[in-house]
Structure 1
Amino acid sequence: MATVLDLLPAEYGFVALAVIASTVTVVLQGGSVMEARKLYKVPYPDMYATVIEVDGKKYTNAKDPESAKLFNCAQRGHQNALESHYYNLVLAVTGGLAAPVAAAGSLIVATIGFREYARQYRCAGPENRNNKLALCKYIGLLGLLGSNFYLAYVLLASKLH
């Protein structure tokens, strides 16, 4: 008796490995946010550090205003990966049905970009978050979109002929 696994392309295991690597990367990025939370003394459940100014004096829920900025950079870099991780996973899983090696490779490239984006945001601030390897997240997304367009083409072409 055939199972669903028998219907998948032989190389689909690469997609599963890429999904695992991408998920582990995003989880580990969360660890850097937890470290920043402790270092900059931003309490739970606050997602971001805030700074307000009253009569020329600054108040913050972090250790100090500069710590608030540094924590927010770490948090925002990780949040960006979280915001786009789900659709990258969906695109890899679906695009991998027709082009598993391309989809897996594209997800790995995107994951490298997410990791580097978060690192640059945390270490160099928002103005430097999209430099060099961080741009891989866009290249990976294009590859994932391409594998899904190919899947759509294969499915539609087989039904139209």
Structure 2
Amino acid sequence: MSITITLPDGFQFLGASFVSTVFLLFFQSTLVSKYRKSAGIAYPQVYADKAQVEASKDAIRFNCAQRAHQNTLENLPIVYVTTLLTGLKFPVIAASALGLWTISRVSYTRGYVTGDPAKVCD
């Protein structure tokens, strides 16, 4: 007994879109590390506490970078599953949507890391 799986034309584009999320996560973790170091937040502390935030603008930026990164990680499983399922019927649309999502997360992260929530959409 053999099973044959036929993927639609254009399914290979999903690979590039999935790789784009790796670059997104690398970008976000680099920001977290940068602000962790500049704020002097020692491991294993996940977030800067209230006193650290009041003492340093970099501490609030660290908290924001950490939260943006964690929020991306929280959303990735559903984004991946949705992209794969959509890609079985509409691969180019699915790959484009994931690429657009990745670009929007870069923009979101850059705004969020300012420490001013109003700048998230700028």
TM-score (norm 2): 0.86
| Number of residue pairs the alignment of both structures matches | 121
* Partners of 2:61 and 2:24 in 1: CA distance: 21
Residues 77 and 119, structure 1, Cα contact 8 Å, conserved in 2: no
* Partners of 2:4 and 2:39 in 1: CA distance: 52
1:109 alignment counterpart: 100
Residues 61 and 115, structure 2, Cα contact 8 Å, conserved in 1: no
SS of aligned partner of 1:103: helix
Residues 25 and 111, structure 1, Cα contact 8 Å, conserved in 2: yes
SS of aligned partner of 1:38: helix
1:118 equivalent to 2:117? Answer no
The answer to which structure has the higher strand fraction is: 1
1:14 equivalent to 2:13? Answer yes
- Greater alpha carbon shift after TM alignment, 71-80 vs 93-102: 71-80
| Among 72, 78, 101, the residue aligned to 1:81 | 72
SS of aligned partner of 1:12: coil
Q: How does 1:124-143 map to 2 (within 5 A)?
A: 125-129=116-120, 131-132=121-122
2:27 alignment counterpart: 28
Q: Which has the higher relative contact order, 1 or 2, with Cα contacts under 8 A spaced 6 or more apart?
A: 2
TM-score (norm 1): 0.67
1:65: how far off?
4.2
1:106: how far off?
0.3
Q: Runs in 1 of length 4+ with deviation above 6 angstroms?
A: none
1:24: how far off?
2.2
* Partners of 2:4 and 2:55 in 1: CA distance: 58
1:2: how far off?
7.3
1:158 alignment counterpart: none
* Partners of 1:31 and 1:63 in 2: CA distance: 23
* Partners of 1:39 and 1:33 in 2: CA distance: 10
Flag the 1:41–1:117 CA change in 2: closer, same or farther, 3 A: same
1:138 alignment counterpart: none
Identity of aligned residues (%): 31
